[in-house]
Amino acid sequence: MTEATTATTQAKTAKNTGSPLGQPNYEIPKIGLPEIEVPAAFRELADKGVAQARDTYEKAKAVTEKATNQLKDTYATAAKGATDYNLKVIEIARTNTNTAFDNACELLEVKSLSEFVELSTKHAHEQIEQMAAQTKELMELAQKVTTEITVKDWRHGDSKASNKVA
């Protein structure tokens, strides 16, 4: 009886272990799932939802790209304006330095106190007038840059209409 039991056990073990040279062969049992028919109204609703989502995505993408381009233009305009403004400030500083040096040379050549006071007063008046003109130039340059950014980069075309996503 031991031989019969051993043979039966070996036969059962052989079925479960699979091939002695490879991995066991496991198969997924095939279960017959019923095919469910999706109602046409549901499919139509899903198709409309997908189409609307795609449309909304395209509109949002277009608005985002436009805003990105506007920011690039704005930064380019602002950078150019800042460069122009800084160059003007450097030019003004150079002019003022040259004027101060010229005034110092003139003051070294004076022979009397009254001549010193006269030259100093004249230089002070000229500096006040020059400072007013320079301030006006800088203000006009700053307004020009601000106007360019506002009008050219942000308020052109139909920006209000294109900002609507859905």
Q: Amino acid identity of 135?
A: T
Residue 114 has pLDDT above 80, yes or no: yes
pLDDT tens for residues 37-80?
778 888 888 889 999 999 999 999 999 999 998 889 889 989 99
Q: Per-residue confidence at 158, pLDDT binned at 50, 70, 90?
A: very low
Evaluate whether residue 87 is within a structural domain: yes
Q: Per-residue confidence at 157, pLDDT binned at 50, 70, 90?
A: very low
Which 3-state string (H, E, C) describes 44-102?
HHHHHHHHHHHHHHHHHHHHHHHHHHHHHHHHHHHHHHHHHHHHHHHHHHHHHHHHHHH
Q: 7 or 140: which carries more pLDDT confidence?
A: 140
Cα–Cα distance measured from residue 140 to residue 19, given in angstroms and rounded to the nearest whole number: 91
Cα–Cα distance measured from residue 133 to residue 123, given in angstroms and rounded to the nearest whole number: 15
Could you tell me the two tokens for 51?
């189409």
Share of the chain above pLDDT 90, in %: 52
Evaluate whether residue 121 is within a structural domain: yes
Evaluate whether residue 50 is within a structural domain: no
Tell me whether residue 138 is exposed, middle or buried, using C-beta atoms within 10 angstroms of its C-beta: 0 to 12, 13 to 18, 19 or more: middle
Q: 32 or 73: which carries more pLDDT confidence?
A: 73
pLDDT at 22: 66
Question: Which residue in the block uniquely carries the two structure tokens 């095939």?
Answer: 30
Looking at 12-21, 23-32, 64-73, which range is the least confident one? 12-21
Evaluate whether residue 23 is within a structural domain: no
Evaluate whether residue 78 is within a structural domain: yes
Total domains, the chain: 1
pLDDT tens for residues 137-149?
999 999 998 888 8
Q: Which domain holds residue 126?
A: 56-155
Evaluate whether residue 16 is within a structural domain: no
Evaluate whether residue 69 is within a structural domain: yes
pLDDT at 68: 92
Q: 77 or 125: which carries more pLDDT confidence?
A: 125
Mean pLDDT taken over the chain = 81
